[in-house]
Amino acid sequence: MNSDFPVSASLPTIAPDGELLPTTPNPDAKEVPQVRLKGEDGRLLLLLPPDLESPGAATTWTDVWQQLKQRLNAGERFWQPKTPVHLIVRDRLLDGRQIQAISEALSEVDLELKRIYTSRRQTAVAAATLGFSVEQQSSIARLNQSESNGQALAEPLYLETTVRSGVEIRHPGTVIVLGDVNPGSSIIADGDVLVWGALRGVVQAGASGNMRCLIMALRMEPTQIRIGDLMARAPETPPSQYQPEVAYVMNGSIRIVRRTDFSKDLLFS
């Protein structure tokens, strides 16, 4: 999918299948990125323009909001009711109030915001806190170097919220949740996953292949955990008393031990 969407400054026409039809060129108009709507595989992609600083570019939230309202209310609607919307934000910074406004505008035309794609950590946090599924995509400017395997990882994603059922969090680094991870939710991280609460959903650490990643939780009762391409489930009989535990890979399988019994030396044994 092309990440640049230069179109005419005048609003394009939307065809019944969701594609944008060309408009009559205006030689005096400046080429600026626009909000786009596009149907794809039973879902609707809502693409916001990048956060550009060049003169004449539509970069302000007011511009984006006005374009979005025009797209949603102009002409014949090509989508079916309750069509899920995937919001492609890229490097544009959105706060919780703005994300909520977009969700409500979509709801007014019988659309449902489901997932948000962003390279900005602040936007990912705001979206997850509101209960939306999030995929944070790597941004070169925000990459750190992992000491364990030399792979570049994004800065950790800190979430001070409960990850509710139906929410999926994807992040190219470590994910730290100050709250519970409920059944029916999932976290997929290229780094570690640390849950300062109860882990009852599906969690994968080392999703890009790092088998030395860890999963930690104050209360470890997951539906499923993965480290790299290895998978494990919680015991069928729960323990009589819960305590902080760590999941790690040793001898080709996932082990779960009490935090007090864990040492990083185990990762190199």
DSSP 231-246: EE---SS--SS---EE
What does the alpha-carbon distance between residue 73 and residue 70 come to, in Å, rounded to a whole number?
5
Q: Residue 216's domain is classified under what CATH number?
A: 2.160.20.70
Domain shared by 172 and 130, yes or no: no
Q: What is the pLDDT of residue 52?
A: 61
Q: Could you report the average pLDDT of every consecutive run of 10 residues in the chain (269 residues)?
A: 36 41 47 81 90 60 92 80 92 95 95 94 94 80 40 82 96 95 96 96 95 95 95 78 90 90 71
The pLDDT of residue 143: 33
Q: Say whether both 125 and 243 belong to one domain.
A: no
Domain boundary among the residues 105, 137, 169 is at 137
| 3-state DSSP percent of the chain in helix, strand and coil, to 5 | 15, 35, 45
Q: Which of 116, 137, 158 is the last residue of a domain?
A: 137
State how far the alpha carbon of 264 is from the alpha carbons of 15, 40, 124, 172, 268, in Å: 57, 45, 30, 22, 8
Domain that holds residue 73: 1-137
Count of domains for the chain: 2
Amino acid residing at 254: I
pLDDT at 151: 56
- Out of 137, 153, 173, a domain closes at 137
